[in-house]
Structure 1
Amino acid sequence: MTMGQDQSEIFNGLKDARSVDGTDTRAIPAFVFGEELADLAEHDPRIVVLTADLGRSNRALDFAARHPGRFVNVGIAEKNMVTIAAGMASCGHLPFAATFGSFAALLCAEQIRTDCAYPDLPVRIVGHHSGMSMGFYGTSHHSLEDLGMMRTIADLTVVCATDANHLRALLRLSLHHPHAMYLRLGRGRDPEVYDTVPDLRVGQAQTVRDGSNLTIIATGSEVHPALRAAEILAERGVSARVVDMWTISPLDRDAVLDAANTTGAILTVEEGNLTGGLGTAVAEVLFDADARVPFRRHGVPDEHVPVGPPAGLYAHYRLDAPGIVAVAEELLTTSEGGAT
């Protein structure tokens, strides 16, 4: 582990008493990334963890405390970290390289493509604090373009963690996945969607609520508010299915087409730029299959978001539960009027 400035100290303000949606964090599981990998490493000698001076922010220090010889802090050198991870993977290790999503995906895109995906090495790039969860730190720390960028890289699996139990499942699944993987994580204190560790398979979405009038296809941090929105819609007589599309690439085409065939409309919800992300991926499936269903993409428009508290940004872009309800009702009203 390198000595010197630890950037985690700068970002200690991220660990406040309230989550990004205003929930008391005492009721939300803390970041389990380092803890879960430390447990897995007890039985898998291949696992190594790398970070770029953010071991406290991503809780990689929980891993380092138990496996100091298998932890590397490369310093503020994210591109080098990814290339080092690729080299370690080529020697039989299973590296998890973790930093902020804005740095992991945007700064290191070339290294992810050329050093990890192209040679088909089992590197796990972990982009945490994704989306707008770094609200006050501005555009340089917002990660809104990562899904659109990462899903265009061949031979790269792109997945999004929904909550603590879902992250545990993703990390366990990744031990047996032969290809490079980009894991998009939230802020680490994400409201619970899964009360137990789910059984996951790459390319297979999870239906977390059934419904018939509308399907809300959400990913990552937007699954929980989508579920809350479905509850509100139910009180208003609208039956909404909620699908956790945690695998962005490969996408679960069957889940999309089933929604098109069995529910009245589809709304995608993502904490990211609408250009090229989850909504675009779903639109491609519908277009290729000539599936004609009322459809709307919902996320951040193609703009740089303002600086502010994450909860305020979610409300501004209608990515909280009330906002999703409003967008869903607009979609259903338009579809009832005959538009598609």
Structure 2
Amino acid sequence: MSTSSTSTTAAQAPKRSASMIASIADAGVETTRAPFGHALNAVAADDERVVGLTADLGKYTDLHIFGEEHPDRYYQMGMAEQLAFGAAAGMAQTGLLPFVTTYSVFATRRAYDFLCLDIAEPGLNVNVMAALPGLTTGYGPSHQAFEDMAILRGMPDLTIVDPADALDIEQAVPQLAAAPGASYTRLLRGAVPRVLHEYDYSFELGKAKVVRPGEDVLLVSSGLMTMRALLAAEKLAEHSVDVAVLHCPTIKPFDAETVLDAIDTPRMTLTCENHTVVGGLFESVAAAMARRPIGRPVTPIALPDEFLDAGALPTLHDRYGLSTDAVVARVLAELDAQG
């Protein structure tokens, strides 16, 4: 059985049918195809309890990779997210280890009650792998999960993971399988960036880590915005700005100690997230700072508290400040404002 995946650069990756679903990888960034599907196969090879369920989105969440390798453990539940979550809960009650895939909007807006009362409340090890988190599609409000973490952060005993790249996903899957309780992962699918292997980094569930040191500016980031933060740091070095990047792949439980230790310096701090400014990484950081307390300003780079436009994905990332160039411009503007 092969569990390897193929790496390419973004420029070499197969072209999508439309820019609305373009790869989130910046030009020239190495990518890996379907890291979740291959990682789940590797876990399933050693654990017969692993099963995969999807709500009619196997090919669009990379779970079809698992289905091809383990057809007897793959369940296509149709366009019924509540049914998929309820079935996964029942399987977990019998001792199986379910991974369930759908889109983030359906997992949060449509199936919240089933995730909360059937899975999280009884403490079942069910792992929801939800694709299209934040602004990773241009199809408009029906598919843009810009508020998914805000919806779920208040749910007790739910782990929330926001991976940056293929390495995060590959290392997170076995740890999620081994960890007790329910989890929700903002899954990156298809041609997924691979950037963290260039740094002294490994994923550790529940831990934030300084990926890149720097003396002038601190970018606290999660999800795909860690890729953008690292790329922005390289560009800002050309302006003689030394940027540190602190990656927070686990939003809940939040590693407040590591984050606060990094913030409690004279550096200017910004948070970077592919999520609304309400209820995500920025507010997790702000709440932690209030509890210590640390009286320092933190500037959010995040999606606005509004329904977003539809359109070409690169255009939207520029418009809403998530592109690498937009992050660079925002940091330089903040530095200028500080004098």
TM-score, normalised relative to structure 1: 0.90
Structure 2: distance between partners of 1:17 and 1:117: 32
Structure 1: distance between partners of 2:213 and 2:42: 34
On the 8 A contact 2:163/2:223 being kept in 1, the answer is: yes
DSSP-derived class of the 1:127 partner: strand
Identify which of 12, 15, 19 aligns with 2:23: 19
2:156 aligns with 154
- Is the deviation greater in 106-115 or in 94-103? 106-115
Identify which of 58, 63, 68 aligns with 1:65: 68
For 1:233, the aligned partner's letter is L
1:35 aligns with 38
Pick 1 or 2: higher relative contact order, CA cutoff 8 A, min separation 6: 2
Q: Deviations over 1:139-194 (max 9, x none)?
A: 10111111111111110000012111210101011121001000111243232222
On the 8 A contact 1:21/1:310 being kept in 2, the answer is: no
Aligned CA distance change for structure 1 residues 315 and 17 (closer, same or farther; 3 Å): closer
Structure 2: distance between partners of 1:129 and 1:24: 22
Aligned CA distance change for structure 1 residues 157 and 18 (closer, same or farther; 3 Å): closer
Q: Does 1:284 align with 2:282?
A: no
Structure 2: distance between partners of 1:112 and 1:304: 24
Aligned CA distance change for structure 1 residues 104 and 13 (closer, same or farther; 3 Å): farther
For 1:110, the aligned partner's letter is D
For 2:110, the aligned partner's letter is L
On the 8 A contact 1:129/1:188 being kept in 2, the answer is: no
Structure 1: distance between partners of 2:336 and 2:181: 43
Aligned CA distance change for structure 1 residues 168 and 255 (closer, same or farther; 3 Å): same
On the 8 A contact 2:53/2:77 being kept in 1, the answer is: yes
TM-score, normalised relative to structure 2: 0.90
On the 8 A contact 1:132/1:271 being kept in 2, the answer is: yes
Identify which of 35, 43, 48 aligns with 1:45: 48
Q: Deviations over 1:299-327 (max 9, x none)?
A: 11101110111111110011111111122
Shift of 1:329: 2.4
DSSP-derived class of the 2:264 partner: helix
CA RMSD of aligned residues (A): 2.1
Shift of 1:108: 1.3
Q: Deviations over 1:105-157 (max 9, x none)?
A: 2211111111111111111011112112121x211011111111111111000
Unpaired stretches in structure 1, ≥5 consecutive residues: 1-11
Structure 1: distance between partners of 2:18 and 2:95: 35
Number of residue-to-residue matches in the alignment: 323
2:145 aligns with 143
1:110 aligns with 113
DSSP-derived class of the 1:23 partner: coil
Q: Does 1:238 align with 2:241?
A: yes
2:190 aligns with 188
Q: Does 1:209 align with 2:212?
A: yes
1:6 aligns with none
On the 8 A contact 1:211/1:263 being kept in 2, the answer is: no
